[in-house]
Structure 1
Amino acid sequence: MIDTDPYFAERKALLRQEALVQRDKVARSARADAAQQSARHFFDGVALEPDDIVAAYWPIRDEIDCKPLLTRLMDSGQPVCLPVVVGEDDPLELRLWEPGQPLYPSGFGTLAPAETAPLVEPDVVVIPLLGFDRLGTRLGYGKGYYDRTLAAMRKSPLLVGYAYAAQELEFIPREEHDLPLNILVCESGLRRFGA
């Protein structure tokens, strides 16, 4: 559902505050288990071809930890790339993380492959979320990095939201450029959206 509300930005800002509160309520003691369970659900429910490139992320703030997912992807030989912010209004660079190569600080508390790593277009994009709703609408931090990145891609990757179950919101308004998730993965399972 596309939103035409003139107060759209204000509504989204309030939803971001609500989502941060919801995410903060996830018990610290439960987070490591949630990360492991989410990685299991991803591998149980997301079909990957051996050469499919998976874009994941290095977690920041209180995002669900996707390092267990990254470890399993790398250990299985699946090609993985990580995002790098190169400019405030630019799409993310998606750099291939080649086996045995170190990661480096890349701003915002994240780690990424070196500047010399190959740039790739992934087949699957695992997106950290502030919130999501039952329609697969995703809520991010509001900077538009993933929106710009997805719009600039030549292919249409599978979009997989990665979050805690507690981050589900009742309804998130969607603008025309907001691509919905295909799949949501959280500690309680996997949910598919759309046709």
Structure 2
Amino acid sequence: MNKSLLRSEFLQKRKELSDKEIEDKNEAILKNSKHFFETIGIKTIHIFLPQLGKSEIDTWRIISFLRSFDQLKIISPRVIPGTREMEHYLLTSETILRNNQWKIPEPDPETSLKVLPSDIDAVLIPLLAFDKKGFRVGYGGGYYDRFLAQCKPTALKIGVSFFEPVEEISDLDAYDVPMDFCITPSSILNFTNTDSAPI
């Protein structure tokens, strides 16, 4: 299936989730995230903040857990107005957040510490759907494809999804960057080997 069809299908699937289903899936993703992040050694992680009112994965739960790691720095993005580029800022409990035009919280650039993509060890990536090879369907703006191309080659690319993978995305192009892992309510998929077995 192509990206456009997958984007429509999974946006609809997410809309149809009940509040109870969303809560259960968020808690299961948090449980798997705890297991995952306790097994990898990173110093900085980039995490998207959920769009208000759109039933996105509640990454605030993951952020709250990761704040228990004393030396770990958490980074969040800000879309540069009028562009399809992002800049990145340290996220702490004292960071001032402002909602952008899509009602996505972003660090205030006037009061937040800017971080370069090259200094980031891992990226938690938003998506709508993904396939068994680790390729993802996002919202269509290309923000993360551009950002990931700026990160160091060793940066871990970690998706999070309410749903399990589809067989294949049919219209990949040269700009599509595969994920290394994807965390779902039922598993942690590893795409760094050939069989994409759960870890």
TM range (shorter): 0.7 to 0.9
Instruction: Please state if 1:65 is matched with 2:58.
Output: yes
- By how many angstroms is 1:68 displaced? 0.6
Query: Corresponding residue for 2:149?
Result: 151
Q: Provide the rounded CA distance (Å) in 2 between the counterparts of 1:67 and 1:33.
A: 15
Residues 100, 146 of structure 1: alpha-carbon distance in 2 compared, 3 angstrom cutoff: same
- What code does the residue aligned with 1:119 have? K
Q: Provide the rounded CA distance (Å) in 2 between the counterparts of 1:141 and 1:90.
A: 12
Q: Provide the rounded CA distance (Å) in 2 between the counterparts of 1:14 and 1:57.
A: 24
Q: Provide the rounded CA distance (Å) in 1 between the counterparts of 2:106 and 2:18.
A: 28
Q: TM-score, normalised by structure 1?
A: 0.84
Q: Provide the rounded CA distance (Å) in 1 between the counterparts of 2:89 and 2:40.
A: 19
Residues 81, 48 of structure 1: alpha-carbon distance in 2 compared, 3 angstrom cutoff: same
Q: TM-score, normalised by structure 2?
A: 0.83
Query: Corresponding residue for 2:180?
Result: 182
Q: Provide the rounded CA distance (Å) in 2 between the counterparts of 1:26 and 1:157.
A: 32
Matched-pair contact (CA < 8 Å) for 2:95–2:112: no
- In structure 2, which of residues 132, 137, 140 is the aligned counterpart of residue 139 of structure 1? 137
Residues 170, 28 of structure 1: alpha-carbon distance in 2 compared, 3 angstrom cutoff: farther
- By how many angstroms is 1:126 displaced? 0.5
Query: Corresponding residue for 2:197?
Result: none
Matched-pair contact (CA < 8 Å) for 1:81–1:95: yes
- What code does the residue aligned with 1:117 have? S
Query: Corresponding residue for 1:5?
Result: none
Q: Provide the rounded CA distance (Å) in 2 between the counterparts of 1:183 and 1:128.
A: 12
- Higher normalized contact order (CA 8 Å, seq sep 6+, divided by chain length): 1
Instruction: Please state if 1:106 is matched with 2:100.
Output: yes
Identity, in percent, stands at 27
Runs of 4 or more, structure 1, over 3 Å off, are 87-90
Aligned length: 184
CA RMSD of aligned residues (A): 2.1
Matched-pair contact (CA < 8 Å) for 1:85–1:107: no
- By how many angstroms is 1:155 displaced? 4.6
- Which stretches in structure 1 are left out of the alignment for 5+ residues? 1-7
Matched-pair contact (CA < 8 Å) for 1:56–1:127: yes
- Which stretches in structure 2 are left out of the alignment for 5+ residues? 194-199
- In structure 1, which of residues 16, 21, 31 is the aligned counterpart of residue 12 of structure 2? 21
